[in-house]
Amino acid sequence: MSFSTATKNELARIISKHPCCRLAELAALIRMDGSIQISSGKLMSLNITTENAAVARKILLMVKGLFNLQTEVLVQRKTRLRKNNVYLVRIPPQQQLSKLLCQAGMLDRHGRLKDTVQEELLKKICCRRAYLRGVFLGGGSVNSPEGTYHLEVITDNEQHANSICRLMQRFRLPARISERKNWQVVYLKGSEQIVRFLNIIGAHSALLNFENVRVYKDVRNQVNRLVNCETANLNKTINASVRQLENIKLVRDTVGFDNISASLREAAELRVKYPDASLKELGDYMQPRLGKSGMSHRLRKLEEIAEKIRLEVRGDKKMM
């Protein structure tokens, strides 16, 4: 199951204690996925579609609980073209339906369709959270934290997209809108913002899972960075050591260790004995102990001697 579906399943099980919040959430779901049908006899019915069975059940519960309306559910089975079943919650023409549509802010008092979210539904912070939950259930998705951090809500209604964006911003979430074909995409980037949004809409298990993966990922990245860094340092040490060993061998085989100072000889012998030690470690082996820069100085001296020998050898060759 995708992270998105798991999150929605969790959210679908949350039924607010307050009727105000249930209404706000239902209103959001209707705005996102609802359509009003007007028959020839000017009778209205309401259809709400969703691909998530738990969401369909939640819509039913809220419609029944709040308005005691008669409902029916139709299932369109998945086909080759469609990945998921589609659940159609249908509320056929009946008296109480216009009351629902008015209260959910779909119709004004004169029975005309409204294009904006009714501010009254969003007065209280509890309802604003519930509205965002409905919006997410209706058209949201969130990437698994394993991949790139991305959460979005898509709607074909530009005004509603703006309302959703503003509503998120009221929670200090830096939501943005982009266009994808004919859709308006309200999105959040960044793990912290997504975690905060999941918290706001009450997806606490999803939030915990998200955080776990995020922490794991962060630690893994840190470890990788450290390992890379250490490998780089190690390579540097080894490259330097290889050069030093070449110098030392050259000095030993030409000038001979007996003809260099005792301090250089000690440094040279230690390097041969501990080829992969760092300068600091080599300094620690010296008697008496020598600092890193002292050690580096001696190895440089050996390099100078070796360079001189190389120059002489080349000179001799030219003369021959």
- Nearest residue to 266 (alpha-carbon basis) of 288, 242, 241, 238: 288
* The two structure tokens encoding residue 22: 């249930």
Is 88 an interacting residue with respect to Zn ion (CB under 5 A)? no
Nearest to Zn ion of 203, 251 (CB atom)? 203
User: 3-class DSSP state for residue 150?
Assistant: strand
Please enumerate in sequence order all residues whose Cβ is within 8 A of that of 215, keeping only pairs 6 or more positions apart, or say none.
none
Using the rule CB under 5 A, give the single segment among 62-70, 97-105, 121-129, 307-315 that binds Zn ion.
121-129
Residue from 11, 12, 21, 69 touching Zn ion (CB under 5 A): that is 21
Check: CB of residue 301 under 8 Å from CB of residue 284.
no
Is 123 an interacting residue with respect to Zn ion (CB under 5 A)? no
* Least distance in angstroms from the C-beta of 200 to Zn ion: 13
Q: What is the C-alpha separation between 311 and 170, in angstroms, rounded? A: 75
Q: How many other C-beta atoms lie within 10 A of the C-beta of residue 82? A: 11
- Nearest residue to 195 (alpha-carbon basis) of 217, 219, 212, 218: 212
Residues 170 to 199 in contact with Zn ion, rule: CB under 5 A: none
For residue 131, give the amino acid letter.
Y
Binders of Zn ion: how many residues, by CB under 5 A?
6
Using the rule CB under 5 A, give the single segment among 37-45, 123-131, 171-179, 214-222 that binds Zn ion.
123-131
Nearest to Zn ion of 122, 248 (CB atom)? 122
* Least distance in angstroms from the C-beta of 9 to Zn ion: 23
Residue from 29, 89, 104, 127 touching Zn ion (CB under 5 A): that is 127
Is 20 an interacting residue with respect to Zn ion (CB under 5 A)? yes
Check: CB of residue 161 under 8 Å from CB of residue 186.
yes
Which residues of this protein are in contact with Zn ion, per CB under 5 A? Answer: 18, 20-21, 124, 126-127
